[in-house]
Protein backbone atom coordinates (compact mmCIF):
# COMPACT_ATOMS: atom_id res chain seq x y z
CA UNK A 1 0.00 0.00 0.00
CA UNK A 2 1.49 3.38 -0.97
CA UNK A 3 2.27 5.91 1.71
CA UNK A 4 -0.45 8.57 1.42
CA UNK A 5 1.42 10.94 3.77
CA UNK A 6 4.51 11.34 1.61
CA UNK A 7 5.07 14.70 -0.10
CA UNK A 8 4.68 13.01 -3.50
CA UNK A 9 1.31 11.55 -2.53
CA UNK A 10 0.09 14.92 -1.25
CA UNK A 11 1.27 16.72 -4.38
CA UNK A 12 -0.50 14.32 -6.78
CA UNK A 13 -4.07 15.67 -6.35
CA UNK A 14 -2.78 19.22 -6.66
CA UNK A 15 -0.96 18.44 -9.90
CA UNK A 16 -3.98 16.72 -11.40
CA UNK A 17 -6.31 19.55 -10.37
CA UNK A 18 -3.91 21.97 -12.08
CA UNK A 19 -4.20 19.88 -15.23
CA UNK A 20 -7.99 19.86 -15.07
CA UNK A 21 -8.15 23.60 -14.45
CA UNK A 22 -5.72 24.21 -17.31
CA UNK A 23 -7.18 21.87 -19.93
CA UNK A 24 -10.91 21.71 -19.26
CA UNK A 25 -11.98 25.33 -19.85
CA UNK A 26 -9.80 25.75 -22.93
CA UNK A 27 -11.14 22.53 -24.45
CA UNK A 28 -14.75 23.41 -23.73
CA UNK A 29 -14.36 26.83 -25.35
CA UNK A 30 -12.56 25.40 -28.40
CA UNK A 31 -15.21 22.69 -28.72
CA UNK A 32 -18.08 25.16 -28.48
CA UNK A 33 -16.49 27.40 -31.10
CA UNK A 34 -16.03 24.37 -33.34
CA UNK A 35 -19.67 23.32 -32.86
CA UNK A 36 -20.89 26.83 -33.71
CA UNK A 37 -18.72 26.99 -36.84
CA UNK A 38 -19.93 23.56 -37.95
CA UNK A 39 -23.55 24.61 -37.29
CA UNK A 40 -23.08 27.73 -39.40
CA UNK A 41 -21.40 25.84 -42.25
CA UNK A 42 -23.33 22.55 -42.30
CA UNK A 43 -26.59 23.20 -40.50
CA UNK A 44 -28.14 22.79 -37.09
CA UNK A 45 -28.14 18.98 -37.05
CA UNK A 46 -24.39 18.93 -37.75
CA UNK A 47 -23.88 21.52 -35.00
CA UNK A 48 -25.79 19.34 -32.53
CA UNK A 49 -23.70 16.32 -33.54
CA UNK A 50 -20.55 18.39 -33.06
CA UNK A 51 -21.79 19.47 -29.65
CA UNK A 52 -22.36 15.82 -28.73
CA UNK A 53 -18.80 15.10 -29.92
CA UNK A 54 -17.48 17.88 -27.67
CA UNK A 55 -19.31 16.43 -24.67
CA UNK A 56 -17.96 12.94 -25.45
CA UNK A 57 -14.38 14.18 -25.73
CA UNK A 58 -14.50 16.34 -22.60
CA UNK A 59 -16.09 13.60 -20.51
CA UNK A 60 -13.60 10.98 -21.67
CA UNK A 61 -10.48 13.07 -21.13
CA UNK A 62 -11.56 14.63 -17.83
CA UNK A 63 -12.51 11.21 -16.51
CA UNK A 64 -9.10 9.89 -17.56
CA UNK A 65 -7.30 12.52 -15.52
CA UNK A 66 -9.54 11.79 -12.54
CA UNK A 67 -8.98 8.03 -12.83
CA UNK A 68 -5.20 8.40 -13.03
CA UNK A 69 -5.23 10.79 -10.07
CA UNK A 70 -7.17 8.27 -7.98
CA UNK A 71 -5.15 5.19 -8.97
CA UNK A 72 -1.65 6.67 -8.88
CA UNK A 73 -1.20 7.96 -5.36
CA UNK A 74 2.60 7.94 -5.30
CA UNK A 75 3.78 9.99 -8.30
CA UNK A 76 7.40 9.26 -7.45
CA UNK A 77 7.05 5.85 -9.13
CA UNK A 78 7.36 6.74 -12.82
CA UNK A 79 6.81 3.18 -14.06
CA UNK A 80 3.45 2.91 -12.30
CA UNK A 81 2.50 6.42 -13.34
CA UNK A 82 3.25 5.80 -17.03
CA UNK A 83 1.68 2.33 -17.05
CA UNK A 84 -1.58 3.54 -15.55
CA UNK A 85 -1.60 6.65 -17.71
CA UNK A 86 -1.06 4.72 -20.93
CA UNK A 87 -3.63 2.05 -19.98
CA UNK A 88 -6.26 4.68 -19.21
CA UNK A 89 -5.46 6.59 -22.40
CA UNK A 90 -5.70 3.42 -24.51
CA UNK A 91 -9.00 2.51 -22.87
CA UNK A 92 -10.33 6.02 -23.53
CA UNK A 93 -9.45 5.88 -27.21
CA UNK A 94 -11.00 2.41 -27.61
CA UNK A 95 -14.22 3.44 -25.84
CA UNK A 96 -14.39 6.70 -27.81
CA UNK A 97 -13.99 4.74 -31.04
CA UNK A 98 -16.78 2.39 -29.93
CA UNK A 99 -19.09 5.27 -29.07
CA UNK A 100 -18.48 6.80 -32.49
CA UNK A 101 -19.16 3.46 -34.20
CA UNK A 102 -22.48 3.16 -32.36
CA UNK A 103 -23.37 6.80 -33.03
CA UNK A 104 -22.60 6.36 -36.70
CA UNK A 105 -25.43 3.82 -36.96
CA UNK A 106 -27.96 6.53 -36.07
CA UNK A 107 -29.25 7.95 -39.35
CA UNK A 108 -29.74 11.54 -38.17
CA UNK A 109 -26.34 11.77 -36.47
CA UNK A 110 -23.65 13.57 -38.49
CA UNK A 111 -20.61 11.48 -37.56
CA UNK A 112 -18.25 13.62 -39.64
CA UNK A 113 -19.18 16.76 -37.68
CA UNK A 114 -18.86 14.89 -34.38
CA UNK A 115 -15.51 13.45 -35.47
CA UNK A 116 -14.17 16.89 -36.40
CA UNK A 117 -15.30 18.31 -33.05
CA UNK A 118 -13.73 15.40 -31.17
CA UNK A 119 -10.49 15.79 -33.09
CA UNK A 120 -10.34 19.50 -32.27
CA UNK A 121 -11.04 18.76 -28.60
CA UNK A 122 -8.39 16.03 -28.47
CA UNK A 123 -5.71 18.28 -29.93
CA UNK A 124 -6.65 21.25 -27.74
CA UNK A 125 -6.89 19.05 -24.62
CA UNK A 126 -3.46 17.55 -25.21
CA UNK A 127 -1.84 20.95 -25.83
CA UNK A 128 -3.55 22.54 -22.82
CA UNK A 129 -2.73 19.57 -20.60
CA UNK A 130 0.93 19.73 -21.60
CA UNK A 131 1.01 23.47 -20.95
CA UNK A 132 -0.69 23.05 -17.56
CA UNK A 133 1.69 20.26 -16.59
CA UNK A 134 4.70 22.40 -17.44
CA UNK A 135 3.30 25.30 -15.42
CA UNK A 136 2.48 23.05 -12.44
CA UNK A 137 6.21 22.79 -11.65
CA UNK A 138 5.91 19.16 -10.62
CA UNK A 139 9.41 17.84 -9.90
CA UNK A 140 10.35 14.88 -12.07
CA UNK A 141 13.56 14.03 -10.24
CA UNK A 142 14.92 14.28 -6.73
CA UNK A 143 16.94 17.32 -5.77
CA UNK A 144 20.63 16.50 -5.66
CA UNK A 145 22.87 17.99 -2.99
CA UNK A 146 25.80 19.93 -4.35
CA UNK A 147 29.35 18.94 -3.35
CA UNK A 148 30.23 20.49 -0.04
CA UNK A 149 26.63 20.89 1.16
CA UNK A 150 26.46 17.56 2.96
CA UNK A 151 30.15 17.08 3.54
CA UNK A 152 30.50 14.10 1.19
CA UNK A 153 30.57 13.72 -2.53
CA UNK A 154 28.48 10.49 -2.51
CA UNK A 155 25.23 12.47 -2.79
CA UNK A 156 26.14 13.89 -6.17
CA UNK A 157 24.33 12.19 -9.04
CA UNK A 158 26.69 10.19 -11.18
CA UNK A 159 25.90 8.67 -14.57
CA UNK A 160 25.03 4.99 -14.50
CA UNK A 161 27.43 2.50 -16.04
CA UNK A 162 27.23 2.83 -19.79
CA UNK A 163 25.51 6.23 -19.60
CA UNK A 164 27.61 8.65 -21.61
CA UNK A 165 25.32 11.68 -21.42
CA UNK A 166 27.26 14.71 -20.35
CA UNK A 167 30.61 13.04 -20.96
CA UNK A 168 32.59 14.66 -23.76
pLDDT of residue 134: 82
pLDDT of residue 1: 46
pTM, two decimals, is 0.68
Helices (H) and strands (E) in the chain — how many of each?
Answer: 4, 0
How many whole angstroms separate alpha carbon 61 and alpha carbon 22?
Answer: 13
pLDDT of residue 125: 92
Please list the rounded mean pLDDT of every run of 10 residues in the chain (168 residues): 49 69 92 95 92 91 84 74 86 84 82 90 92 74 67 51 53
pLDDT of residue 149: 65
How many whole angstroms separate alpha carbon 104 and alpha carbon 50?
Answer: 13
Angle at Cα 148 formed by Cα 8 and Cα 7, nearest 5°?
10
Q: What percent of the chain clears pLDDT 70, i.e. is strictly above it?
A: 71
* DSSP three-state, residue 100: helix
pLDDT of residue 15: 66
How many whole angstroms separate alpha carbon 12 and alpha carbon 116?
Answer: 33
pLDDT digits (tens, 9 = 90+) for 102-125: 877 888 888 889 889 999 999 999
Amino acid sequence: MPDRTSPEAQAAPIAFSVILRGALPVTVVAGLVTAVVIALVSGLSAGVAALIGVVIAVVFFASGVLIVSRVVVDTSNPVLFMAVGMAVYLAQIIVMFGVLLVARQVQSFDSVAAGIAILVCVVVWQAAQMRAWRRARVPVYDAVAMPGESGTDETVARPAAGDDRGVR
